[in-house]
Amino acid sequence: MDNREEVREFLTSRRAKITPAQAGLPSGTRRRVPGLRRSEVAALADMSVEYYSKLERGSLAGVSPAVLQALARALRLDDAERAHLVNLAQAADGSDVLTRPRRRRTKDQWKPHPSLQWTLDAITAGPAFVRNGRMDVLAANPLFRALYTDVYATPGNQRNLARFNFLDPASRRFYPGWDTFADVAVAILRTEAGRNPHDKELHDLVGELCTRSDEFRTRWGAHDVRHHGTGTKRFHHHAVGDLTLAFEGLEMAAAPGLTLTVYTAEPGSPSEEGLRLLASWAATQDAVPDTERSAAR
């Protein structure tokens, strides 16, 4: 994940997504590039074509906030894309090393404090878990482990939600809207790559997924990023059926780079009843030996 290449591909992909009509420009009849030309982006950002071309070649080191803001306006970036551009610029000049909180590097080096696990276990009405930007599951309550039983059942995914999404066939049954989950997973990893470009484990994970999954490789090449803090997801659990759950993701102040996510169901909905059934099912599974549980799946 060379930073210059990352910058170049991100800016090029954003430029390609904007039509002249969206930018208020005449479309013409002899356009040879998708989206806007470099000269058009430069004009919209009030800079020379030569300077914009230098930026698009990956030279973001030392670029001022005003220039980044002008680029973001010209390319019509959303909040997540603006933040990603800033992260890329900080990585280019090394200021990310000096200004960012120290990030947890590996799930093996980080262990949940007992009080965090107590907090997770105290959430009994919905699944709750802690993940890092690589989508490693670092801590969870019993209801999350029951909901994501397929993740815990597959040793090869190392409790990584992106690896499960793209490499485990069970994910296509578990996620009725598989494409949406796939898009979100890649966007989270791409966002993390911008925030933490020197993470070797992230490099290794992306390399593995690009090699083993055409679906991942295509999405990774799109350079899409997003903020993933709230919304609704649909699941199909093999024991309790379909569930529609809202989620809230909270950044952990005591552990920069980690996110606590809690799923809940609408009160009185079939999904709320489904979570109660899931809790009952989980309790019965706790009483079943591991060998019998594996044979039953």
CATH number, domain of 270, equals 3.30.450.180
Bridge partners (DSSP) of residue 275 are: none
Reported as a single tens digit per residue, the pLDDT across 89-105 is 998 877 654 445 444 44
Asked whether residue 108 is assigned to any structural domain, the reply reads no
* Least confidently predicted of 31-40, 75-84, 101-110, 212-221: 101-110
Tokens of 282: 């989980």
Instruction: Report how far residue 61's alpha carbon sits from residue 48's, in angstroms, rounded to the nearest whole number.
Output: 18
Q: Is the pLDDT of residue 292 over 50?
A: no
Check whether residue 144 and residue 260 sit in a common domain: yes
Q: Could you tell me if 262 and 248 are in contact, meaning their C-beta atoms sit under 8 angstroms apart?
A: yes
**What is the rounded distance in angstroms from the CA atom of residue 67 to the CA atom of residue 52?**
10
In a domain? residue 107? no
CB of 233 closer than 8 Å to CB of 212: no
* Token couple for 176: 């009725």
Same domain (yes/no): 95, 118:
no
Looking at residue 293, what is its pLDDT? Answer: 45
Number of domains present in the structure of the chain: 2
Indicate if 153 and 81 belong to the same structural domain. no
> Does a structural domain hold residue 194?
yes
Considering the domain boundaries, does residue 104 fall inside one? no
- The domain boundary, picked from 42, 71, 99, lies at 99
Angle at 159 between CA 155 and CA 164, to 5 degrees: 85
Residues 157 and 272 in one domain: yes
Q: Are residues 93 and 119 in the same domain?
A: no
Does 236 fall in a domain?
Answer: yes
Q: Which long-range contacts (CB under 8 A, 24 or more apart) does 266-269 make?
A: 269/244
Of the candidates 99, 132, 167, which is a domain's last residue? 99
Are 120 and 63 contained in the same domain?
Answer: no
Q: From its phi and psi, is residue 257 left (phi > 0), alpha (psi between -120 and 50) or beta?
A: left
Query: What's the pLDDT score for residue 95?
Result: 61
Domain-located, residue 27: yes
Residue 14's SS3 state is helix
Structure tokens at 251: 């950044």
CB 45 within 8 A of CB 73: yes
Tens of pLDDT along 244-283?
999 999 999 888 889 999 999 999 999 999 999 999 999 8
Can you say whether residue 33 is alpha, beta or left, with left for phi > 0 and alpha for psi between -120 and 50 degrees? beta
- Residue with token string 């552990």: 255
Whether residues 191 and 58 share a domain: the answer is no
Least-confidence region, from 47-56, 64-73, 247-256, 268-277: 247-256
Chain centroid to CA 289: 35
Residues 148 and 290 in one domain: yes
Same domain, 255 and 133: yes
Look at residue 160 and tell me if it is in a domain: yes
Residue 252 domain boundaries: 114-296
Specify the CATH number for the domain of residue 23: 1.10.260.40
Measured distance CA(102)–CA(257) in Å, rounded: 9
Rg of the Cα trace of the chain? 22
Same domain, 32 and 163: no
Which of 31, 65, 99 is the endpoint of a domain? Answer: 99
Q: Are residues 86 and 182 in the same domain?
A: no
- Pairwise CA distance, residues 223 & 187, whole Å: 8
